[in-house]
Amino acid sequence: MSWQNTTKKVAGAIAVISGIVMVLSVGISDVFNIIASPEDVSAEVSASLNGIDFIDRVAVLGVAVTILGGAGLGLLSTSKDNPPFLNTTLTYLPVIVGFLAFSAFGTEVWETITGGRTWDAHDDISNSYMLFLASSLVSGVVSLLKK
């Protein structure tokens, strides 16, 4: 196995694990609320994420799809029966989430990748979110190098 495949798989596994930790820390109902109804998110979760904006909603949808997708539970997978946008999303999910991570959370993600994050200064929700975003960025970049 090439270093690119190994790195992509390890980063993908870290994304799934950190995504699951985030869902367990936030709660399934608040994960749904972040995506569909941010005004109904608990005050604790909203404060942990420093408020919820459009990027958070898309990124947390990425958490859900990553967990349910081929790298996670395998409940969502590419298929000829799927609409094309779903197959494209599933195929390029690490690239999509990685782009969001880089463009919206560049400093925080870079600190996570380089070991500069002060984990004790943040709660489990914030830490698992940044670890998910950072590992998705690594997986996305490596998958682009592979092609």
Single-letter code of the amino acid located at 91? T
Q: Which of 77, 61, 59 is nearest to 69 (CA)?
A: 77
- Domain locations in the chain as residue ranges: 3-146
Q: 54 exposed, middle or buried (CB, 10 Å; 0-12, 13-18, 19+)?
A: exposed
Q: What is the pLDDT of residue 147?
A: 59
Contact 45, 24 (CB under 8 A): no
Q: How many CA atoms lie within 13 Å of 112's alpha carbon, on the beta-carbon side?
A: 25
Q: What is the pLDDT of residue 70?
A: 87
pLDDT in tens, 5-59: 899 999 999 999 999 999 999 999 999 999 999 999 999 999 999 999 999 999 9
Q: What is the pLDDT of residue 99?
A: 95
Q: What is the pLDDT of residue 110?
A: 96
Q: 147 exposed, middle or buried (CB, 10 Å; 0-12, 13-18, 19+)?
A: exposed
Question: What is the average per-residue pLDDT within 93-119?
Answer: 95
**Secondary structure letter of residue 52 according to DSSP:** -
pLDDT in tens, 108-137: 999 999 999 999 999 999 999 999 999 999
Q: What is the pLDDT of residue 145?
A: 87
